[in-house]
A and B are shown apart, each in its own frame.
Chain A
Amino acid sequence: MNRSIVQLKGISKNYGTLEAIKEIDLDIFKGEFFSIIGPSGCGKTTLLRVLAGFEIPDSGSLYIENINMQNVPPNKRSINMVFQSYALFPHMNVLDNVAFGLRVDGVARDEQSRRVKSMLSLVKLSGLENRLPHQLSGGQLQRVALARALIKKPQVLLLDEPLSALDAKLRNEMRQELIRLQKNLGITFILITHDQQEALSMADRIAVMNDGAIQQVASPSDLYEFPSNKFVADFIGSINFIGCQLSEKDGDVFKVITRISKDAFTVEGNNSLRIGQDCWLGIRPEKINFEDADVVNPNHNKLSGVVKNITYFGQASMYHVEVTGEKTATINVMENHSKRSSGTTNEVGDSVVLCWSTDSTSLFTS
């Protein structure tokens, strides 16, 4: 199974003194929907351009299907790309745009028209063959760009922020469309995005990048539940960080003391932290509960504070709870409305006790 189709070994690329990507090692498997995410300027676009062949890496080697790509120009690679701005040829109609890749390859006329026709029906563009790009809507442009790249039957399809120009509703629709296409065609998709929702909802595996380096490669749920460092935890979803100091260590059970309130928490972790070292305790807002007087769980970690603000999201609300000790910190608590156990609601100004179980937190080095 999991045969690598794209392998990067120690790939680096500098622009002048700026290190865009540093020593990247990455294996992407055949037939998977892979996503590379990171904040802007993290080097993800450079990585994509290295894959496509528009940038030559300064060091390291890139293998596609076990062939070294060192001297292979973009037009000879079995990789095609959907550009961020689509880069459709403005002087060609939909049909000519889609057929472009086949024409330059000298594919026979009747095969050309057969493949263009089936590709256009695959991306649901039949009947728009004679439209020029400026006569199409954003979603249609996106489909033409997809069709133009897919018609060459690439081994790997690169997608550079493909949905960023679409409105929210259309973006959702295209997400489903991309997943459908990827599963139907079995082509390896590599999606570049800064939108974590996009990556989490579509990809089989995600690489999180920052500062030109890969921080973690994992499945969406592993990335969310078990982030390997503070950056990943912060970048994926929202999270509260509480500054702590490690006080006890008993196998996988750690005890930490918070810096703000000197409360002690129990954490399940496997971190290589030393006793007395500063660290960050990370808790997702939805994993924190308001303590219910009726249900007492002695294993739970507790922290008391005052509700300062409530943000209403419809299906849930975010409570901004201020915890005061030597310093003041705000902890965000997400409470799902339908799952609320008691009928009482916390209001702004209420004193509350926050609690969470020992296995719902992660420890990070600072």
Chain B
Amino acid sequence: MFLLVPIVIISIFSFSAKQGLVDISASWVLDNYIRAFDPVYLSVFFKSMGIAGLTTSICFLIGFPLAIGIASAPKSWKPILLMIVVLPFWVNLLIRTYALIAVFRTRGFFNFSLEWVANLLGIPFEPLTLLYNDAAVILGLVYIHLPFMILPLYAGFEGFNKSLLEAASDLGARQFKIMTAVVLPIMAPSIISGCILVFIPALGSFLTPELLGGPSSQMIANVIERQFLAANDWPFGSALSMILIYLTFGALALRYFWLRRRYFGSTENRP
């Protein structure tokens, strides 16, 4: 209900036209959507998907070994390690983002550390510009979304029957083959869940690109915000929002169909 009502309102707005400064008439036109496919906005969509995709991949590459590590840690360590993963959630997103700025700005802790090392080694040091570019946005998104990747993967590994690894090894498989033929396929539902949980919020992220990104690294949510506030163009903002929602649903649908094909569909018959 609380999800549906705003979506219905936004979708009605998205088919409307702006009249004057404040009025909006529900005129059932497609103008807003046509305008959304203008190369300017399309490129922002693609860029957002690229950044979200890259964030998801990096989260996976970092989160996968971490999740294995936590799941195979001694029992008494697990709650502590999980606590470390979840701890950042206790701090407000805005504060965490500002903390990242404090660390990575030109006169931030990261540059200070580098300067200290450079002075020790006697190398001339020029502070690095680490913020206000795409890399900074991805770094921020990875930092914020990593727990969303680790937790489902960890849950998956906890339920993973370790004797399957021994069985595969017993049957002659090497480490790489065990990973590709046994671990990844069985873990696939957890991997997909983790990726969706990272990709969807990363795609619609607003604060991180706003604070850490440069002028060229704005994502779709920033454009939407500008339509609603600065440009005062609610119908167009609504249309962009709807496209973002469709993309999200598309990702969820992909996961659903993939799982369904895998567990209920016919299995192919290879020799």
Contact = CB atoms under 8 A, between A and B. Distances in A.
Contacts, number: 77
Interface size class of B (residues with CB under 8 A): 20 to 34
Q: Which 7 A-B pairs have the closest CB atoms?
A: A101-B171, A87-B167, A87-B163, A113-B271, A104-B173, A74-B169, A91-B185
A148 B166 contact: no
Contacts of B164: 87, 89
Interface in A113-161: 113, 129-130, 132, 148-149, 152
B19 interface: no
Contact of B166 (A87, A95, A110, A113): A87
Interface in A94-118: 95-96, 99-101, 104-105, 109-110, 112-113
A130 B269 contact: yes
Contact of A129 (B163, B181, B186, B269): B269
Interface of A: 52-54, 73-76, 79-81, 83-85, 87-91, 93, 95-96, 99-101, 104-105, 109-110, 112-113, 129-130, 132, 148-149, 152
A90 B266 CA distance: 15
Given A75-B172, A100-B171, A152-B171, A109 B267 contact: no
Q: Tell me what chain B mostly uses at the interface: helix, strand, loop, or mixed.
A: helix
Given A75-B169, A87-B166, 9 more contacts: A81-B167, A83-B167, A87-B163, A87-B167, A89-B167, A91-B186, A96-B270, A100-B168, A109-B271
A149 B172 CA distance: 11
A126 to B, nearest CB: 14
B166 A83 contact: yes
B113 interface: no
A73 B182 contact: no
Given A87-B161, A90-B186, A112 B169 contact: no
Given A105-B172, A152-B171, A93 B166 contact: no
Interface of B: 161, 163-164, 166-174, 177, 181-182, 185-186, 262, 266-267, 269-271
A81 B170 contact: yes
Contacts of A104: 168, 171-174, 177, 181
Contacts of A80: 170-171
Contacts of A85: 161, 163
Contacts of B167: 81, 83, 87-89, 148
Contacts of A52: 166, 170
A74 B174 CA distance: 10
Contacts of A73: 169
A87 B182 CA distance: 11
A95 B270 CA distance: 8
A74 B172 CA distance: 7
A90 B159 CA distance: 13
Contact of B172 (A95, A113, A152): A152
A129 B251 CA distance: 34
Contacts of B169: 54, 73-75
A85 B166 CA distance: 12
Nearest to B184: A91
A113 to B, nearest CB: 4
Given A85-B161, A109-B271, A112-B271, A148 B186 contact: no
B267 A101 contact: no
